[in-house]
Structure 1
Amino acid sequence: MKTIGTTLRELRETKGLLLREVGAKLSLDPTILSKIERDERMPTREQVKALADFYKDQKNEVIIAWLSDKLYYEVQDEDLALQAMQVAEEKIKYQSKKKK
C-alpha cells in the first residue's frame, strides 16, 4: 500500500526531477516536500492540489493517496474503524445518488 509520500516520491523520481526542482515550480520549500515524501508530514489540501496539478496525468492517484492517508490516520486506533468506514462508504454512495 502506497502512502501519499511514497506516491509523490515515485512520481517525482519517474520524471527525473529533484526535490528542489519540484519545490521551485510549486513555490514549496524542498525541506517540507522531503518531509512529505518521507511521510513525516501530511501535506495540506492546498499543497495536494498543487502537487496533483503538477502531476496532472496522475492527479487522481495523488488525491486518492492523500485522502486514504487522512482517513487511515484519523481512525487507525479505533476498534470499530472498518465498520465505520463501511457506513461512511454507504453514506457517500447515498449522497452521490441524491445529488444526481
Structure 2
Amino acid sequence: MSIGKYIRALRQENEKTLHQVSIKTDIDSPLLSKIERGERLPTSEQISKLSEFYGVNKPLLESKCIAEKILKNHGASKVTYDAVVMVQEVLHKYSVKETDK
C-alpha cells in the first residue's frame, strides 16, 4: 500500500476529515489531499506530524516514503530491483554492526 493510501486509511479509521487533520498537524488540507492521492510525497517534517497525530510508527512512514520515492524515480524494473538488493546488502552489514554494540 502506498504511503498516501496508508495515510488516507488512517484518517478514515480515525473518522477524521482532512480539515480536522490539517488543523491538528498544521499541514494544509489541499496538500494532505495531494499526499493521500499520491500526487505528492510528505516531507520528513510532515511524516513526523502525521505519525504523532495518528500514533503510528514514524520509521514505518519514512520507509514507505523512501520506497515510493525509489519507485517513482526509477520505476519497477529489474535494474531498480538489483539496486535495492545492493542497498539491502550494505544495510545488512550496517544492521549487523549495530546489533554487535
TM-score calculated relative to the size of structure 1: 0.86
Counterpart-to-counterpart distance in 2, 1:73 and 1:90: 22
- 1:13-92 equivalences in 2 (<5 Å): 13-57=12-56, 59-76=58-75, 80-92=79-91
Counterpart-to-counterpart distance in 1, 2:4 and 2:76: 21
Could you say what the CA RMSD is over the residues aligned between the two structures, in angstroms? Answer: 1.8
Contact 1:52 1:63 in 2 (8 A): no
Distance change (3 Å), C-alpha of 1:4 and 1:12: same
Aligned length: 99
Percent of residue pairs bearing the same amino acid type: 31
Letter in 1 for 2:16: L
| Long gaps (5+) in structure 2 | none
Contact 2:47 2:58 in 1 (8 A): no
Counterpart-to-counterpart distance in 2, 1:44 and 1:8: 13
Counterpart-to-counterpart distance in 2, 1:33 and 1:21: 11
Contact 1:12 1:18 in 2 (8 A): yes
Counterpart-to-counterpart distance in 2, 1:59 and 1:79: 29
Contact 2:44 2:62 in 1 (8 A): no
TM-score calculated relative to the size of structure 2: 0.85
Contact 1:7 1:65 in 2 (8 A): no
